Amino acid sequence: MKSPLTEKTAKVLISILMVSLTSIIVFGGVSYFYFSHDLPSIESLKNYKPPAITKIFSENGELIGEFFMEKREVISLDRLPNHLIQAFVAGEDARFFQHKGLDYWAILRALFKNIFSGEIIQGGSTITQQVVKSLLLTPEKSFSRKIREAILSFKIEKYLSKEEILHLYLNQIYLGHGAYGVAVASENYFGKDVQELNLAESALLAGLPQAPSKYSPHQHPEQARKRQIYILNRMVEEGYTSHSESLRALQTPLKVKGKQSLSFEKAPHFVEHVRRYIEERYGKDALYKGGLQVHTTIDLYAQNIAQEALESGLKEIENRQKYRPGEMASILEGALFCFELESGYVRAMVGGRDFRKSQFNRVTQARRQSGSAFKPIIFASALDKGYTPASIVVDAPIVFEFGNKKWRPKNFEDKFLGPTTLRNALTHSMNVVTVKIARDIGIDYIRDYARNLGISSSLHDNLAMALGSSGLSLYELTKAYAVFGNQGKKFTPLFIKKILDRDGNLLEEHLPLNHPGELNHVDQVISTQTAFLITHLLESAVRSGTGWRAKALGRPVAAKTGTTDQFFDAWFVGYTPELLTGVWVGFDEERSLGENETGARAASPIWVAFMSRALKDKDIKAFPIPEGIEFMKIDPKTGQMGSDKGGVLECFKEGTGPTPKTSTRLVATTDFFKFDMNLSSKTK
């Protein structure tokens, strides 16, 4: 028989139990509602697109630049070795495939192991919890965040498959030294694609998540080794590998990659130019987080020999002028820009000697006086104003007066040749003849003509402009020369072939100019005949004029030197039927290069050194002669028809050559003019 006390006690205990359970249920429900009512949505995890690396590639697919906020490359699970996945599961969450988001046994096990070892060697968080912590919640450490983390972990386990959770984890996790995800970590630590990892390497990577800096093989190789052993033992315990396989892995030597030089250094000014373009067109988020794949036109062989040619040429000038470091206000600088005329592809861009010291791009950003390198634009203008290569201009002293001052333009060597042909004037870079031609055809006409060729910089509103007094960039000057080399067609040099988004979708594509489906804007801005005549005149500048060094190529070359007043700037711009290359040499802070450091002496050797290697083993081509060109024998002294015996062959636009009835054209024979300007006197 039960005692009344016992029965009463049982009822009390049951009541207490019921109240407690009800309270727990109510408290749990209220807590769940409280902590889950404003939880972040987990739907975004289905379309996982974390910040990824934008990669820049050379023409042959070599990596030359990377831009990122988090250095990460998203990779699918089917591209990962099984032992890599197993190593992370064994080390971080052995019951991952059994639990529903939380592993209570793992929490207790980790607690005891950490207590007995005296240090944290094992964590209690599941892989699902780590995904929640990384992608959905802030990193704060609080009781409320842990509850929210647990709730979200349960939800994710219902919403995503285990494989999808692993995909998120292995791509999102931070593994030290700026590496996010296993793909980048594999490259950072071992210099290999993640698919090529062996068991030893996988175990080492799997040991990093708990404390990437503490277990870094770069900084703490002994700690990294201990962690690797722990991971391999866990893999054996979980049946992922055998004891003998783990021993072989431990005996496998690890070739941890040291700190590597950045691929960015292969073509730094080029890559920076591309970076600016992407940021301007697509925005910062796309550049630094979008994972774009940018395939460019740069030829790394051409880029390398361009850098070598420029550095060698600048050192030669320094040795010749005996510069002393203490006397130099700034380092001697230079720039080289090269692109193909047929395709429009940029093959080399060197914007300065050392990108690490100066990111200023002297190809696109510097504006310097171009000197006589500007003269082909004047002479092309004259050809379209009725001049011919045989037109006679008097090379004689001339004086311009502005206020109380006078300007007497001089030729470089202070010599005057009297009546001379247009060809001879450009071949020998005669300043006085150039000024007289410019005065005859008009400054406004020349300015508009230059704009039409692609010159965008402001040009001086006086005759000094004819001698290259205006500041131009090497980029726009070479682009203008390209019109002459490309049969009168203007185009924008192509830096990029195509850009793909992170999923491989095409965002933009630039086909070569000679491709039938080419989308780059090409305009016929001058006639093919004018373009050919200027090219033919510039060939004379190489054969017997200031560009003589380019004869070393042993092939047709059209080129022009440029030297500014007091030898501040030296230029050489020239082209073959295949390539156009421009070179500039000078100081960033205007100062003289030294006596007689002309374009022919300072810049053209760099051009020749580069072009001779860039064109090595390529077939020799002649500049194509378009329809509408005729050749005639003329007297080089008078420009009139010459005899078969004593004349020289000259080219003309059809119908413009001399006839027995035409008279010699004399231009600007007056020797004194009043003119309002501020001019420099000597260029070459």
CATH assignment at residue 187: 1.10.3810.10
CA 582 – CA 603 distance, rounded (Å): 9
Rg over alpha carbons for the chain, rounded to the nearest Å, is 37
Is pLDDT larger for residue 124 or for residue 228?
Answer: 228
* Residue after which a domain boundary falls, among 229, 251, 273: 251
Residues 342 and 194 in one domain: no
Residue 678 confidence (pLDDT): 35
- Inter-residue contact 301 to 511 (CB < 8 Å): no
Residue 480 confidence (pLDDT): 98
Relative orientation angle of helices 528-544 and 375-383, to the nearest 10 degrees: 130
Residues 343 and 480 in one domain: yes
Is pLDDT larger for residue 307 or for residue 140?
Answer: 307
Instruction: Record the tokens describing residue 137, joined without a space.
Output: 């919640």
pLDDT band at 681 (very low <50, low <70, confident <90, very high): very low
Per the structure, the complete domain to which residue 579 belongs is given by 338-351+367-488+525-624+658-674
Residue 668 confidence (pLDDT): 39
CA 464 – CA 251 distance, rounded (Å): 76
- Inter-residue contact 677 to 443 (CB < 8 Å): no
In a domain, 322, yes or no: no
Helix (H), strand (E) at residue 407: strand 405-407
Residue 671 confidence (pLDDT): 42
The least confident of 18-32, 153-167, 555-569, 665-679 is 665-679
Is the four-CA dihedral 526, 527, 528, 534 of positive or negative sign?
negative
Residue 388 has pLDDT above 90, yes or no: yes
Q: Mean pLDDT of all residues in the chain?
A: 87
Residue 276 confidence (pLDDT): 97
Is pLDDT larger for residue 243 or for residue 405?
Answer: 243
Residue 563 confidence (pLDDT): 95
pLDDT band at 14 (very low <50, low <70, confident <90, very high): confident
Q: Which residues are catalytic?
A: 92, 372
Of all residues in the chain, the percent with pLDDT exceeding 70 is 86
Residue 86 has pLDDT above 90, yes or no: yes
Residue 674 confidence (pLDDT): 36
Residue 202 confidence (pLDDT): 96
In a domain, 65, yes or no: no
Residues 216 and 346 in one domain: no
Query: How many domains does the chain contain in total?
Result: 2
356-367 average pLDDT score = 95
Give 645's contacts (C-beta < 8 A, 6+ positions apart): none
Residue 142 confidence (pLDDT): 64
Q: Which residues pair with 179 in a beta bridge?
A: 71
Residue 235 has pLDDT above 70, yes or no: yes
In a domain, 404, yes or no: yes
For residue 188, give Cα distances in angstroms to 218, 231, 284, 583.
Answer: 10, 20, 25, 38
* Residue after which a domain boundary falls, among 216, 251, 286: 251
- Inter-residue contact 519 to 511 (CB < 8 Å): yes
Residue 401 has pLDDT above 70, yes or no: yes
Residue 8 confidence (pLDDT): 72
Give 3's contacts (C-beta < 8 A, 6+ positions apart): none
- Inter-residue contact 536 to 389 (CB < 8 Å): yes
Pick from 27, 189, 65: which is nearest to 496 by CA?
A: 65
Residues 474 and 576 in one domain: yes
Q: What is the DSSP letter of 226?
A: H
Q: How many residues does the chain have?
A: 684
- Inter-residue contact 164 to 42 (CB < 8 Å): no
Residues 232 and 343 in one domain: no
In a domain, 560, yes or no: yes
In a domain, 573, yes or no: yes
CA 117 – CA 127 distance, rounded (Å): 23
Give 420's contacts (C-beta < 8 A, 6+ positions apart): 392, 393, 394, 395, 430, 433
Residue 361 confidence (pLDDT): 97
Residues 207 and 108 in one domain: yes
- Inter-residue contact 609 to 312 (CB < 8 Å): yes
CA 398 – CA 82 distance, rounded (Å): 85
Residues 578 and 432 in one domain: yes
The least confident of 60-74, 192-206, 270-284, 656-670 is 656-670
Residue 22 has pLDDT above 60, yes or no: yes
CA 122 – CA 45 distance, rounded (Å): 27
Residues 575 and 443 in one domain: yes
What is the DSSP secondary-structure string of 6-46? HHHHHHHHHHHHHHHHHHHHHHHHHHHHHHHTTPPPSGGGG
In a domain, 300, yes or no: no
Judged by DSSP in three states, 653 sits in: strand
Residue 229 has pLDDT above 80, yes or no: yes
Relative orientation angle of helices 82-92 and 162-172, to the nearest 10 degrees: 90
Residue 665 confidence (pLDDT): 43
In a domain, 509, yes or no: no
The least confident of 22-36, 100-114, 415-429, 586-600 is 22-36
Q: Which residues pair with 651 in a beta bridge?
A: 631
Q: Look-up: residue for tokens 């002297």?
A: 362
Residues 342 and 236 in one domain: no
Residue 362 confidence (pLDDT): 97
In a domain, 303, yes or no: no
Residue 614 is part of a domain; what is its CATH number?
3.40.710.10
Is pLDDT larger for residue 6 or for residue 630?
Answer: 630
- Inter-residue contact 201 to 171 (CB < 8 Å): no
Give 515's contacts (C-beta < 8 A, 6+ positions apart): none
Side-chain half-sphere of 167: how many Cα atoms within 13 Å? 17
Residue 317 confidence (pLDDT): 95
Residues 375 and 226 in one domain: no
Burial class (CB in 10 A: 0-12, 13-18, 19+), 418: exposed
Residue 119 confidence (pLDDT): 54
Residue 159 confidence (pLDDT): 87
Residue 455 has pLDDT above 70, yes or no: yes
* Residue after which a domain boundary falls, among 217, 251, 285: 251
Residues 373 and 227 in one domain: no
Give 201's contacts (C-beta < 8 A, 6+ positions apart): 186, 189, 190, 254
Residue 677 confidence (pLDDT): 34
